A = this chain, B = another copy of it.
């Protein structure tokens, strides 16, 4: 036989191990979210994803109870990636320029938002069902540990509530990303962010110099 049915048409009804299919759908979802469908018109996300994955509508609902839940998975998946560098730095025992790491996080977020605006909006500016966990919790906790590490290393001073500081810092990164998205001038906003972070984490009370 000359035509292998697999390569010929549609390759319909491909039977995949559950995990594989699931990954396929997640990957397709990320691709769809990133393929900025110019314009902000509502998209039938589920339809787009299954089409991209070469699956049928029903298949989607075998693996995810709703679009929202899929979004949750994608979100945490990408947040994991996003925070990987910080996690790595926290895991080894070498000294690090913690401030620089924080600013690089911001830059990474900015660049991602710039490359895939729809994606970014969907992931971070989509109303979550009220009872769902805060997707940023993880980010906050990692950033928290970074702040503590910096403090321990003597790089940071005056941080009293690491978690709170981290939360607002993360919010700041999003603000920068959104601003670059709508107004450009990447270096201007990233620069300002860097300056603010420095002020915040290197705070030296005016009188402390005297006290010493």
Q: Which A positions have Cβ atoms within 8 angstroms of B?
A: 39-40, 121, 125, 127-130, 134, 158, 160-161, 164-165, 167-168, 170-172, 174-176, 178-179, 182-183, 188-189, 191-193, 195-196, 199-200, 202-204, 206, 208-210
Contacts and interface: CB of A to CB of B under 8 A. Distances in A.
Contacts of A188: 161, 164
Given A125-B127, A127-B125, A206-B209, A192 B165 contact: yes
Nearest to A5: B17
The count of identical subunits is 4
A171 B195 CA distance: 15
Contacts of A196: 165, 168, 196, 200
Contacts of A172: 168, 171-172, 175
16 contacts: A39-B130, A40-B127, A125-B127, A158-B199, A164-B189, A164-B192, A167-B175, A167-B189, A168-B189, A171-B172, A171-B174, A171-B175, A174-B175, A196-B200, A200-B200, A208-B209
